Structure 1
């Protein structure tokens, strides 16, 4: 967590952390069956602040004690496991995940984050929603806050603000020909993975899952245990994470939702195939970047919601580097990336590192656009880009003047070796079925770095 690097600089008078959930973990906090629906299609990233859902607090025995706490709809679902081995996923200064299965459960990660944050709990204002952030005349940041328990709204002023809200709030549910009319005729059939919790509701149903990245592949494997076979896996390209399974059939993307004159609940795929009597369609099509609490800047930060605009190194707002965004690139190893990002931000704000000129930072953004485009691919750091990015941040942090602070850990050769094999490792883990829960090391899956290293010697 980036705040540890701010604390380690020992030069900031005040460090406050605001969290709208009732505990550590952010997106890892599980929310019960979500209330409400998602717009279909959902193509607008400019959404209002999330409204809290009030749930009774248990006394630890499963009995409600009368108290209520604010929760927010999260994309966590029952049976979720990480798609990163714990040896690389965990923070460098707390390796306790090694006691769990190789790809830990969401419950294990949630507890891990709770334990990791315990020593700074006194700095955190839980159940506090950031309503708006804007600049004052003195160029400081005026932060408007709401205590969700009391309803009290108040303001505080800060010299710098770090945004670490994640990007799993506003679902992307694309506009496909006929989808709106089809949804009106068949309410409740179309949904998004953000609202998925368990496979039970899909029992004996004909199901289409749209999207085959990590969540789509995992959720399809769960639904595939109860739905009518084959589950139709709609995808633009083959997934590196897919496990060979008899329950599913790969089909192209949906080209059109057909009116009733073409059959009951019918869709046409890009290859012309028509499928009728579809009972459920789950979109695993990701999320938009969205910052409703930055209303004065939102139009400059996001337009289509596919990326954050005007950022240098996926980190600093170019027009005002006292505003930083951590953990927003995708296809990364998030905990270690946040450590490296936190080290750089802390040193820059402590005046121990210099930023390039505004012109140079803008050129960096233009160079990335020239390489990857101005859309969703801008923040995608698939291997080895994620390792290169981490190395660049660590190298930058080491150039800080003076002493002190907290240094992020560099990736080892073994880490890089494992990262390169993630898809194969995850596949092998999934193919173990229930036996996977007892597997804690790469070696148990047949991935032995030392053996591989010996084989490289001529």
Structure 2
């Protein structure tokens, strides 16, 4: 998960908690002297296109012209709420809240419902099991299963005012004290006007539209999931970073940033026709996988499966390989000729991520985890790789196996 240019500190836990990751990012900014260029407590209120420039207006009234704008406002800020019958009453009465506002598992009642199968839903349902008497985890398509104090149920079909909830198969759970909606977030760019990106689902493809669309699930069409394929302005003049989901975000963002710098410095390096063919090809592939519904395709557009994130990073570095030298000599000395290809150990670790996490949870509970990582990293990043392989071997020796039912609890 680390940037290639800056490691986590030695002795960091194999699965660091959020406060450790925050300290890592703050340390990164300090190390590379970025703080002087970061304006806190300042909102971008609008980004408009005028002639050959982008005019960026700030909340303090200042307006700055830029040749290149990179949109990095993230997509975990605007909660997405389901339209399930009865949910409005639960929200207005305080019986339900979105996972964006979840902070700890305490004092939420004896029986807690968690809706959603993404990372937040899995993490919260696991943590809730340590505090609530009964945790009900609603996952679309799941079959009913009880594992200790965790109940796996299917999609919620109705919320009743008396604390009951009905699921898709007709099962009803009663006396639910609280519901946490881990139902995702909306992609939003309130500072971009409709002439830059339209707030609606894109039309059916083919043909590829000439305008940019934000369905709230994805931005379409983007070359390489970054550059707008449209006719109003040069695609290399504005870029969207970090839209992908189910990826390790920092190394992906790093690769995307290099691609943006390359495209901006080498106008014409993007081949619009080839990029359009790639977008249409992905559209057809997703349509075969998830169906013809534009909503389903939009939901899946920026979602990567299995090893796709590593193939994607390799593709981006292939794209910039002809542009080495556009960055500082320090960077070029560091990256060397091998930089840009995802090393095999990353893929190895990703394939072992579930057993690694299950084993690490066990080591933390036994108090052994700290000893496992003590001093690891002082001699370089390969000490982490060796340690992870030792954890996998230890898990095999302990007979640790990860089942599908384990993943929600991890």
Asked if these proteins are the same fold (TM beyond 0.5), I'd say: yes
The one of 308, 315, 318 equivalent to 2:229 is: 318
The one of 82, 88, 99 equivalent to 2:11 is: 99
Show CA shifts across 1:224-247 (max 9, x none).
112122x111112469xxxx9522
Aligned residue number for residue 158 of structure 1 = 66
**Aligned residues of 2:84 and 2:159 also touching (Cα < 8 A):** yes
TM-score computed with the length of structure 1 as normaliser: 0.70
Supply the distance in 2 between the matched residues of 1:106 and 1:97 (Cα, whole angstroms): 15
Deviation (angstroms), 1:181? 4.3
Aligned residue number for residue 401 of structure 2 = none
Show CA shifts across 1:279-338 (max 9, x none).
101111111111101123342644431111121111111223211011110111111111
User: What is the DSSP-based 3-state SS (H/G/I as helix, E as strand, rest coil) of the residue aligned with 2:193?
Assistant: coil
Supply the distance in 2 between the matched residues of 1:353 and 1:212 (Cα, whole angstroms): 42
1:172 aligns with 2:80: yes
**Aligned residues of 2:227 and 2:240 also touching (Cα < 8 A):** yes
Aligned residue number for residue 190 of structure 2 = 292
The one of 369, 392, 401 equivalent to 1:446 is: 392
Supply the distance in 2 between the matched residues of 1:213 and 1:172 (Cα, whole angstroms): 13
Aligned residue number for residue 328 of structure 1 = 243
1:207 aligns with 2:95: no
Q: Report the count of equivalent residues.
A: 343
User: What is the DSSP-based 3-state SS (H/G/I as helix, E as strand, rest coil) of the residue aligned with 1:201?
Assistant: coil
Counterparts of residues 41-440 of structure 1 (less than 5 Å): 89-118=1-30, 119-136=33-50, 138-146=51-59, 152-181=60-89, 183-184=91-92, 187-202=93-108, 204-229=109-134, 231-237=135-141, 246-258=148-160, 260=161, 264-296=162-194, 297-299=196-198, 301-319=212-230, 320-321=234-235, 322-351=237-266, 354-357=269-272, 359-373=273-287, 374-400=297-323, 404-405=327-328, 406=331, 409-434=340-365, 435=367, 437-438=369-370, 439-440=372-373
**Aligned residues of 2:314 and 2:340 also touching (Cα < 8 A):** no
User: What is the DSSP-based 3-state SS (H/G/I as helix, E as strand, rest coil) of the residue aligned with 2:219?
Assistant: coil
Supply the distance in 2 between the matched residues of 1:401 and 1:225 (Cα, whole angstroms): 51
RMSD: 2.5
Show CA shifts across 1:133-152 (max 9, x none).
0101x131010012xxxxx3
User: What is the DSSP-based 3-state SS (H/G/I as helix, E as strand, rest coil) of the residue aligned with 2:176?
Assistant: coil
Deviation (angstroms), 1:433? 4.7
Supply the distance in 1 between the matched residues of 2:253 and 2:368 (Cα, whole angstroms): 29
User: What is the DSSP-based 3-state SS (H/G/I as helix, E as strand, rest coil) of the residue aligned with 1:99?
Assistant: coil
TM-score computed with the length of structure 2 as normaliser: 0.77
**Aligned residues of 1:442 and 1:448 also touching (Cα < 8 A):** no
Deviation (angstroms), 1:208? 0.6
Show CA shifts across 1:353-394 (max 9, x none).
70112x433332222221124311110112211111011011
Supply the distance in 1 between the matched residues of 2:261 and 2:304 (Cα, whole angstroms): 23
Instruction: Flag the 1:448–1:432 CA change in 2: closer, same or farther, 3 A.
Output: closer
Supply the distance in 1 between the matched residues of 2:327 and 2:128 (Cα, whole angstroms): 51
Larger CA deviation: 155-164 vs 218-227: 218-227
**Aligned residues of 1:352 and 1:402 also touching (Cα < 8 A):** no
Instruction: Give the structure with the larger helix fraction.
Output: 2
**Aligned residues of 1:353 and 1:397 also touching (Cα < 8 A):** no
Aligned residue number for residue 77 of structure 1 = none
User: What is the DSSP-based 3-state SS (H/G/I as helix, E as strand, rest coil) of the residue aligned with 2:354?
Assistant: helix
Supply the distance in 1 between the matched residues of 2:114 and 2:266 (Cα, whole angstroms): 49
Show CA shifts across 1:78-99 (max 9, x none).
xxxxxxxxxxx11112113442
**Aligned residues of 1:129 and 1:145 also touching (Cα < 8 A):** yes
Instruction: Flag the 1:448–1:370 CA change in 2: closer, same or farther, 3 A.
Output: farther
User: What is the DSSP-based 3-state SS (H/G/I as helix, E as strand, rest coil) of the residue aligned with 1:442?
Assistant: helix
**Aligned residues of 1:141 and 1:160 also touching (Cα < 8 A):** yes
- Structure 2 stretches of 5 or more lacking a match? 200-211, 288-296, 374-386, 398-410
Supply the distance in 2 between the matched residues of 1:349 and 1:252 (Cα, whole angstroms): 47
User: What is the DSSP-based 3-state SS (H/G/I as helix, E as strand, rest coil) of the residue aligned with 1:125?
Assistant: coil
Instruction: Flag the 1:272–1:428 CA change in 2: closer, same or farther, 3 A.
Output: same
Q: RCO (CA 8 Å, sep 6+): is it higher in 1 or 2?
A: 1
